[in-house]
Amino acid sequence: MKRRQFDTLIIGAGGGGLRAALQLSNADTSVAVVSKVFPTRSHTVAAQGGMNAALSNVTQDNWHWHMFDTVKGSDYLGDQDAIEYMCRAAPKAVYELEHFGVPFSRLDNGSIYQRPFGGQSQNFGGDQAARTCAAADRTGHAILHSLYQQNIHAKTHFFDEYFAVDLLKDEEGHVLGALVFNIHDGEIIVIEAKTTLLATGGAGQLFRTTTNALINTGDGLGMALRAGIPLQDMEFFQFHPTGIAGRGMLITEGARGEGGYLVNGDGERLMERYAPKAKDLASRDVVSRAIATEVRDGRGCGPNKDHVMLKLDHLGEAVIQKRLPGIRQTCITFLGIDPAETPIPVFPTAHYTMGGIPTNRYGQVVVPVKDTPEEPVFGLYAAGECACVSVHGANRLGGNSLLDILVFGRAAANHIIEHLAENRYHLTMDENSIDKAMENLQRWDQKGKTDGESVSQLRDELKAVMEEHCSVFRNEDVLKQGVEKVEQLARRLKDARIDDQSSVFNTAKVEALELDNLMCCALATIHSAYARTESRGAHSRMDYTERDDKHWMRHSLYSLESGLDYKPVRTKPMSVDSFPPKPRVY
Amino acid sequence: MTEVQLPELSRLRWRCRRGMLELDLLLNTFLDAEYTSFDIQQSELFETLLDYPDQVLFDLLMDKMQASDIDIAKLVDSIRKANTKISREKANVTER
Ligand SMILES: Cc1cc2nc3c(=O)[nH]c(=O)nc-3n(C[C@H](O)[C@H](O)[C@H](O)COP(=O)(O)OP(=O)(O)OC[C@H]3O[C@@H](n4cnc5c(N)ncnc54)[C@H](O)[C@@H]3O)c2cc1C
């Protein structure tokens, strides 16, 4: 088997992975970046909205207000030291990007334009702030392309279209790289590294209706879990109330802002019952839960009664064409309907993975060891959406995740540079760990029982189960059944098979490995959600409607070996006073 | 070449995995519906299109931008049409 050695292995070439790689290559360390798709096709490209930083270009602003908003937005589950660090570092992160060539939109006076997003305030909860920097509507694209070019320049070594299967260790559990294979020809390589950074992005594909691309299958989370590392706060998954039913892409709030409204299967304006005042403009979680409740109670639309309708046709074609042209185009393309004539089928859509691999603010992966809740795992780092550092806590604010991936990608790289200075030699790999990774890979090469179930069938079932039992409508019964169903699916996956045994572009095998990872994420998510008997941020329970700080202001940790464990929230910031929990009202 | 070999199709399928859900759906739907009837030129043209950056592909396929190359513009049009057609068929089937 081929072996390669590098100082650092980075798994993932989105904004998080590329930012770290650049820092490391510029520091003259040898860096390998492995990505299952060509780097500039990573999911970061989809982020069109922008990135937050308190630059004060449009409204008065400062990092401390940004910090307050982020802590409040997190429903007090975010770690305040990491949040302070991120908000302080934000302006610098923006100027760095500018320096790398990101063409931020400008104001007439030449400074960077900033737009207002939800949850942004001045003076600790006062007037609206404008904090989001954007490069027109292609911020993610601009960031990814600039960082990629910079990395090529800095001679970062890319393994494009390689799939990482599992982490590799020595006998003491130090992480020493990963087993990867080339999707083109199936060639397997052991990449040995003194340090490994996971930057594999989110897991939106866990749910049937999602805004995430097909590549977002939580691979890094699966790898971590199989390596014995618990996943943190996985019950917190952000949903957007109006995705196109069965397809996932967003219909922005703008559609309801222009006068669109939701109707159920009986033709009734459903939001009148759930939010008599704000109606269709109630907050995201209220609208999401209302839709899910209607469907559960049998008042959905369509033959399967599995969605509700967003009506815009009463607005007239002229208004729709003028104010909502993008939505019209999306509907025509993906539904074959014109919203000027026909209502749009919608359902809450999974958007962002708040939970992930637990890290500290240096990007080191941390696990509980005896009485220490956060002991670094030697050689292992994580950054970006796959990590839980935790700056988003129970709920992420728009524009904060591009910031997160860049700030902590850089921070992780800086810590890695220090680590490399102190640890100059490669350690000896435990061959058993290679064997184990090979087993996980080659299990899909076996012809399998002909009566084994197909991967695609199981994946579809898993996504449907997660949507029914673990999206926005959660209570004891629904979650309990969900736990049983996911456990059962996990057992059935052991006997699944794939038909394609070729080594060239065996996408069937890739999809099977992705399903292994999704299954890990599903177990962590549903177990953590079932156990948390309160409502906080994105985790909202119909049977425990209040936030319960006394029992639940703590992070969940789920591991395959020992199930659930908890650790305290870091409420102490680096330099300022902590923000004590308050009711989260906007 | 009318018979397209399987590895070829799976290679293209992987290249249709993009950073945006919209592109995943548009490209894969087209690939499933039309690819077996492709000739060599069409296949090459499709690969050329797949070389475009995601954001450009998105703008082209969502009709926010027009391709200056006539052949690419035609291909974009047929990808859009294939998707609308299939979406309509699905909608009709489920509504009845
Ligand atoms: C539609 C949409 C719009 C958004 N808009 C915004 C916004 O406006 N502002 C904002 O702040 N955030 C936004 N977000 C969120 C933000 O885009 C993501 O959280 C962020 O881009 C994640 O970056 P990342 O570097 O962690 O991972 P990604 O960009 O997802 O990259 C993951 C990388 O890991 C690689 N990878 C994964 N698994 C493997 C494996 N097994 N082997 C090898 N490689 C692997 C992939 O190839 C890829 O290179 C949006 C999200 C969506 C879905």
CB contact under 8 Å between B14 and A161, yes or no, is yes
CB contact under 8 Å between B10 and A334, yes or no, is no
**CA distance to partner chain A, nearest, from residue B34 (Å):** 17
- pLDDT exceeds 80 at position B93: no
Q: Which two tokens stand for residue A232?
A: 């943190």
Q: CA nearest A245: which of A322, A187, A190, A300?
A: A300
Closest chain A residue to the Cα of B11, Cα to Cα:
A505
Say whether B80 sits in a helix, a strand or coil.
Answer: helix
The pLDDT tens digits of the residues spanning B63-84 come to: 889 999 999 999 999 999 999 8
CB contact under 8 Å between A141 and B23, yes or no, is no
Q: Which residues of A touch B86 (CB under 8 A)?
A: 336
Residues in chain B: 96
The pLDDT tens digits of the residues spanning A499-554 come to: 888 888 899 999 999 999 999 999 999 999 999 999 999 999 999 999 999 999 99
Q: Are A138 and A49 in contact (CB under 8 A)?
A: no
Q: CA nearest A566: which of A231, A322, A332?
A: A231
For helices B70-95 and B40-50, what crossing angle results, to 10°?
90
Residue from B20, B89, B93 whose CB has the most chain A CBs within 10 Å, to mutate: B20
Structural domains in chain A, sorted by start: 245-349 (3.90.700.10), 440-549 (1.20.58.100)
- pLDDT exceeds 70 at position A437: yes
Q: Is the CB of A48 under 6 A from ligand 1?
A: yes
Count CB neighbours of A5 within 10 A: 14
Q: Which two tokens stand for residue B73?
A: 């513009």
Beta strands in A249-371 (DSSP E): 261-263, 308-311, 344-353, 357-358, 364-369
**pLDDT the model gives residue B42:** 87
Residue range A244-258: mean pLDDT, rounded: 89
pTM of the full structure: 0.95
**pLDDT the model gives residue B92:** 60
DSSP letter for A143, please: H
Residues in CB range of A533: below 8 A, 6 or more apart: A541, A543, A544, A548, A551, A552
**pLDDT the model gives residue B5:** 52
Question: What percent of chain A clears pLDDT 70, i.e. is strictly above it?
Answer: 99
Residue range A181-197: mean pLDDT, rounded: 97
**pLDDT the model gives residue B88:** 78
Closest chain A residue to the Cα of B90, Cα to Cα:
A335
**CA distance to partner chain B, nearest, from residue A585 (Å):** 33
- pLDDT exceeds 90 at position A586: no
Say whether A174 sits in a helix, a strand or coil.
Answer: coil
Predicted confidence band of residue A104 (pLDDT cuts 50, 70, 90)? very high
What is the atom index within ligand 1 of the atom nearest the CA of A384? 26
Residue range A325-334: mean pLDDT, rounded: 89
**pLDDT the model gives residue A553:** 97
- pLDDT exceeds 70 at position B3: no
What are the angstrom distances between the C-alpha of A419 and each of A175, A374, A381? 13, 18, 11
The pLDDT tens digits of the residues spanning A408-425 come to: 999 999 999 999 999 999
Residue range A430-437: mean pLDDT, rounded: 97
**Greatest pairwise CA separation for chain B in angstroms:** 41
Closest chain B residue to the Cα of A333, Cα to Cα:
B84
Residue nearest to atom 3 of ligand 1 (CA): A47
Kindly state whether A374 is in contact with chain B, defined as any CB-CB distance less than 8 angstroms: no
Residues β-bridged to residue A359: A365
From the DSSP assignment, how many helices (H) and strands (E) are in chain B?
A: 5, 0
Q: Is the CB of A199 under 6 A from ligand 1?
A: yes
**Catalytic machinery residues of A:** 284
- pLDDT exceeds 60 at position B94: no
**pLDDT the model gives residue A119:** 87
CB contact under 8 Å between B62 and A502, yes or no, is no
**pLDDT the model gives residue A583:** 82
**pLDDT the model gives residue B95:** 43
Q: CA nearest A563: which of A507, A519, A523?
A: A523
- Share the mean pLDDT of chain A: 95
- pLDDT exceeds 70 at position A190: yes
Query: What are B35-43's contacts with CB under 8 Å, separation 24+?
Result: B35/B4, B35/B9, B36/B4, B37/B2, B38/B4, B39/B1, B39/B2, B40/B1, B42/B75, B43/B1, B43/B4
Residue range A430-455: mean pLDDT, rounded: 87
- Greatest mean pLDDT among A56-70, A327-341, B39-53 lies in A56-70
Kindly state whether A149 is in contact with chain B, defined as any CB-CB distance less than 8 angstroms: no
Q: Which residues of B touch A502 (CB under 8 A)?
A: 6-7
Predicted confidence band of residue B90 (pLDDT cuts 50, 70, 90)? confident
Interface of B with A (CB under 8 A): 6-7, 10-11, 13-14, 17-26, 53-55, 61-64, 80, 83-91, 94-95
Q: Which residues of A touch B85 (CB under 8 A)?
A: 336
Q: CA nearest A214: which of B20, B82, B53?
A: B20
Residue range A148-153: mean pLDDT, rounded: 98
Residue range A191-213: mean pLDDT, rounded: 98
Q: Which residues of B touch A333 (CB under 8 A)?
A: 26, 61-63, 80, 83-84, 87
Kindly state whether A249 is in contact with chain B, defined as any CB-CB distance less than 8 angstroms: yes
Residue from A44, A45, A144 whose CB has the most chain B CBs within 10 Å, to mutate: A45
